[in-house]
Structure 1
Amino acid sequence: MRIKVLAAKLLAKKVHKDTLKWTSNPVATQQNVLKKLIEAASYTKFGVDHSFSKIKSAEDFSKQVPVRDYEALKPYVDLVIEGKKDILWKGKPVYFAKTSGTTSGAKYIPLTRESIPFHVQAARNALLSYIYETGNADFVKGKMIFLQGSPILEEKNGIKLGRLSGIVAHYVPKYLSKNRMPSWETNCIEDWETKVNAIVDETFNENMTLISGIPAWVQMYFEKLQQKTGQTVGELFKNFSLYVYGGVNFEPYRAKFENLIGRKVAAIELFPASEGFFAYQDSQNEKGMLLLLNHGIFYEFIKADEFFTNPEGSGPKRYTIGEVELGVNYALIISTNAGLWAYNIGDTVQFTSLKPHRVIVSGRIKHFISAFGEHVIGKEVEHALKEAMENSTIRINEFTVAPQITPETGLPYHEWLIEFDHEASSEPDNLEAFALKIDDAMRKQNSYYDDLIVGKVLRTLVITKVEQNGFQNYMKSIGKLGGQNKLPRLSNDRAIADILVKNNKK
């Protein structure tokens, strides 16, 4: 075990040294990535259609390749699905990561021989960065659990497909295979609740040191462990020292986790997606995640408040890494070595540092509330809730926000649907006072929202308590319980809110 710890520390030192090389030259690094991407795909159908052979700069690329979402790229993807070669990237992809779609149903995101190693490398380097900074490598001696989708893959015209986390499960390094949990058989269970119960049975007697997964589903795992053993997670897993998560902000869950664990545990945030692994938290002392500029992805950024504009028919300005500013909300646009070109992944980011380039995920370009022109984003509602909960015993399981445009009485308002922890002390003594705290925090962050409150267009927000397991039941009812599925923090309509309210009345 000492050898494994020593090896991890030596590798961490090497990775840190390599990282310094490209973080100190961000513009040149990204220019080189774009050049390699264009050269590799010049003779693909997409490359020919967009005159890749004439592209010499990021400016040329921006002019010749319009921003697309999945719906716009789908005609090319459909050709790849049919088994045709050299469409978006040279040859054929090795896998499709199958994700939930919108108007087109399921989405098939290509993964290539060139892109897959970066998914694995980024996850590894996130842990190594933690080891380098803290000197703590003891977690490598224990068992590690990764809550993820089934590794069982289907096949479509010779290309295997499944959830990204299930695909990546086939690439676990040999040195981790003995430490990794749950078992392959348990990982293959499709039903999420059955799977979590099986994971509890397999792990409650083990020396778990690292646990990874989306907060909502890890919380379910922790609760079931506590129900089975009568102990806190920290009592059960005395050497549990590191939690790794991605996909959603951990802050709304932090108080609940600390209660379930019984103590504080270090955490590492990741920014992975089927389309690419974009960033990871490289420091416990600095805000934000290190944007991976040398991982086969060329990044462009569009200011979120300009995203839906179309100046002179050319679309909004696309900024490169050398042009971004701190604190601006940007839509993230990517071009990758899996054949996604000027692709809008739907996430918005803000830079917290430019040396090196670190980001936070601020929300989704389509997940906002602006029913009255308030332009409220995910980062703002999460920060407001965190501020309102500070120095209190309040803990929540889950929440979402929606506008109430036509209330039965009074002015319109934002409705916050919150599921508090089941313990009595975790709920606010005065719900209206708690709502006012959140509202004050929102007004400090968002001047548009403040103007609407002052102008009596809106009244202060209203909290609706959601029944215990209400969000889990909702996700189950739409077939999205577990795995990498996430609940939107806020919506500009009441599609989710009305169902939750209706279920509350049953």
Structure 2
Amino acid sequence: MAILDIKLPNSILKALRLPQNNPRRQQLKVLRKLLRKARFTAFGQQYRFDEILLSKHPGKKFQELVPTFNYNKIYNEWWNKTLEGIPDICWPGKIRYYALSSGTSEASSKYIPITNDLLRGNKMVMIKQLLSLRTYEDIPYSSIGKGWLTLGGSTELEKGAGYYAGDLSGITVKKSPFWFQPFYKPGKKIAKEKDWNKKLEEIVEKAPQWDIGFLVGVPAWVQMLMEMVIERYKLNNIHEMWPNLAFFVHGGVSFEPYKKGFEKLLGKPITYIETYLASEGFIAYQDRQNAKGMKLVTSEHIFMEFVPFDDRNFDSAGDMVENPEALMIHEVEEGKDYALLISTTAGTWRYLIGDTLRFTDKEKCEIVITGRTKHFLSLVGEHLSVENMNKAVQMVSEELNISIPEYTVAGIPYDNFFAHHWYLACDDAVDPAVLAEKIDQRLKELNDDYAVERKSALKKVLLDVLPEQQFLDFMHSKGKMGGQHKFPRVLKGKLLEEWQQFLKKQLVTS
């Protein structure tokens, strides 16, 4: 039985046949739906949702009456009450589930509210993405009906005082539709395992029993799993184990730095499908083969605003100012970086999700993720984005035919001026000096501001080549092993100090 042949409920079919209005109309329709549903909540009453709904310009009125929030602000003022079991705070009813999210640099877990309305919206987007595969050319449709191996965090949920908390993958699996269960791997028992290394070993043990068509997960961990399967069973490539493997669904980080390493593990080309699924909601997905960007979900359950990522709206630490300029979807421009604010069916309101994105096609609402508001380097005005770094690493790895599965960069003082210190994971033989020179040159080509500052206050590019295992060991030391955790591309402050101390300790013990 192929997934595309499954008869879907009439309610889902009706939703999937919504007329394709323009994005502005779609987004205003979503906003009105959110406001109507939440107008009797404490949040809706305080911020006069009824008044917004009566306005001729609800989008502008919404921005006028409702402030922006980051996690700490909305948690301290609102969400903490829902953890005490108080209903109707930011969304109708009690919040029964929370996704635990630590992002890429936060030390403590964030409790992100998850509602049935949010999960329903996420499910609709997943079905739309799946159906979009019908437009792809020259893909093996038989693979769509094979197993979906999802490498995520533990699906075991922690029970709190009237709620459950855990990885979004655990909540999603618990609420997944019946028709998806036969396709889901590694199965509920292994998926519950909290010990990440043990989970990987159990998946490797079961690998020969499965016929996998899809791999789903963060690139670094999926690549590691494939390497373990190949090594365990003495294979030349992963297709000797899973000949029907045809798709890799990825998200969370740019795939560009991993592509070279991935291709070395394959026996034939596969189709890469990018998604933008955060704990706060399913925001975008790639709906066209070989598309440069992902299509924003404009007609379901998320209202989006876009804050220009510039010095007027963000300080040098990447924190958003009190009253930033926020644009609606019809006001954005292609080629500019924006920080994303979302309002959702889980009671997140004008919430800074922390990602920056750029429109590659405004008409199609297609975007690429360019980094994080906190993860960029601009010590002296070089304005170096994660996108610049990813591209440079990809270009150099292809030029030298090496795999660089992880990297991170820090800005440091250097002889009364400044320097960038790169740490790259590479198990291939390579000269660090050559790598530093080539990455520096590529960044000059990609970023004019960087090129200018390299002639001025940015005096040096330092680079250390480390075994990939050291990056994994550091994540393990931070308690951040698992499918949802990504190594931060830029290290600052306390996390940089911890990384430097970790490397010194490793040097002493080696």
With normalisation by structure 1, the TM-score equals 0.91
CA distance in 1, matches of 2:315, 2:59: 21
**What residue in structure 2 maps to residue 244 of structure 1?**
249
How big is each residue's C-alpha offset from its partner over 1:388-428, in whole Å with a ceiling of 9 and x where there is no partner? Answer: 2234311112111111214xx696321110011x3xxx343
**What residue in structure 1 maps to residue 84 of structure 2?**
82
CA distance in 2, matches of 1:419, 1:84: 47
User: Which deviates more from structure 2 when the two are superposed, residues 138-147 or residues 238-247?
Assistant: 138-147
Change in CA separation of 1:304 and 1:6 when aligned onto 2, cut-off 3 Å: closer
SS in 2 for 1:144: strand
Residue number among 308, 314, 320 corresponding to 1:308 in the alignment: 314
User: Which deviates more from structure 2 when the two are superposed, residues 437-446 or residues 126-135?
Assistant: 126-135
Does 1:204 find its partner at 2:204? no
| Unmatched segments (≥5 aa) in structure 2 | none
Residue number among 40, 51, 55 corresponding to 1:54 in the alignment: 51
SS in 2 for 1:299: strand
SS in 2 for 1:396: coil
Residue number among 21, 28, 33 corresponding to 2:19 in the alignment: 21
Change in CA separation of 1:148 and 1:376 when aligned onto 2, cut-off 3 Å: same
CA distance in 2, matches of 1:94, 1:119: 17
CA displacement at 1:157 relative to structure 2: 2.9
CA distance in 2, matches of 1:413, 1:9: 59
CA distance in 2, matches of 1:496, 1:465: 18
Does 1:482 find its partner at 2:486? no
CA distance in 1, matches of 2:253, 2:106: 23
Residue number among 377, 402, 414 corresponding to 1:394 in the alignment: 402
How big is each residue's C-alpha offset from its partner over 1:435-467, in whole Å with a ceiling of 9 and x where there is no partner? Answer: 222112212222222121112x12342220113
CA distance in 2, matches of 1:143, 1:119: 20
CA distance in 2, matches of 1:6, 1:88: 37
SS in 2 for 1:270: strand
Change in CA separation of 1:71 and 1:239 when aligned onto 2, cut-off 3 Å: same
CA distance in 2, matches of 1:144, 1:240: 9
Residue number among 192, 201, 206 corresponding to 1:188 in the alignment: 192
Asked if structure 2 preserves the Cα contact closer than 8 Å seen for 1:370 and 1:492, the reply is: no
Matched AA of 1:308: F
Asked if structure 1 preserves the Cα contact closer than 8 Å seen for 2:23 and 2:330, the reply is: yes
**What residue in structure 2 maps to residue 331 of structure 1?**
339
Does 1:39 find its partner at 2:36? yes
How big is each residue's C-alpha offset from its partner over 1:459-479, in whole Å with a ceiling of 9 and x where there is no partner? Answer: 342220113401100000000
CA distance in 2, matches of 1:133, 1:168: 27
Residue number among 87, 99, 102 corresponding to 1:100 in the alignment: 102
**What residue in structure 2 maps to residue 467 of structure 1?**
467
SS in 2 for 1:267: strand
SS in 1 for 2:292: coil
| Unmatched segments (≥5 aa) in structure 1 | none
Asked if structure 2 preserves the Cα contact closer than 8 Å seen for 1:466 and 1:504, the reply is: no
Residue number among 123, 142, 159 corresponding to 1:120 in the alignment: 123
**What residue in structure 1 maps to residue 363 of structure 2?**
355
CA distance in 2, matches of 1:73, 1:132: 41
How big is each residue's C-alpha offset from its partner over 1:220-250, in whole Å with a ceiling of 9 and x where there is no partner? Answer: 2111101211102122211111111110111
**What residue in structure 1 maps to residue 446 of structure 2?**
445
Matched AA of 1:437: K
Q: How many residues align?
A: 491
How big is each residue's C-alpha offset from its partner over 1:56-85, in whole Å with a ceiling of 9 and x where there is no partner? Answer: 311111111111111101121111111111
SS in 1 for 2:352: strand
Q: Aligned Cα RMSD in Å?
A: 2.5
1:129-278 equivalences in 2 (<5 Å)? 129-134=132-137, 136-231=140-235, 232-278=237-283
With normalisation by structure 2, the TM-score equals 0.90
CA displacement at 1:140 relative to structure 2: 2.7
Matched AA of 1:434: L
Residue number among 494, 501, 504 corresponding to 1:502 in the alignment: 504
Asked if structure 2 preserves the Cα contact closer than 8 Å seen for 1:8 and 1:128, the reply is: no
Q: Percent identity?
A: 33
Asked if structure 1 preserves the Cα contact closer than 8 Å seen for 2:407 and 2:425, the reply is: yes
**What residue in structure 2 maps to residue 413 of structure 1?**
419
Asked if structure 1 preserves the Cα contact closer than 8 Å seen for 2:156 and 2:194, the reply is: no
CA displacement at 1:368 relative to structure 2: 1.2
CA distance in 1, matches of 2:224, 2:498: 21
SS in 1 for 2:304: strand
CA distance in 1, matches of 2:296, 2:375: 22
CA displacement at 1:138 relative to structure 2: 1.3
CA distance in 1, matches of 2:502, 2:47: 46
CA distance in 2, matches of 1:366, 1:260: 33
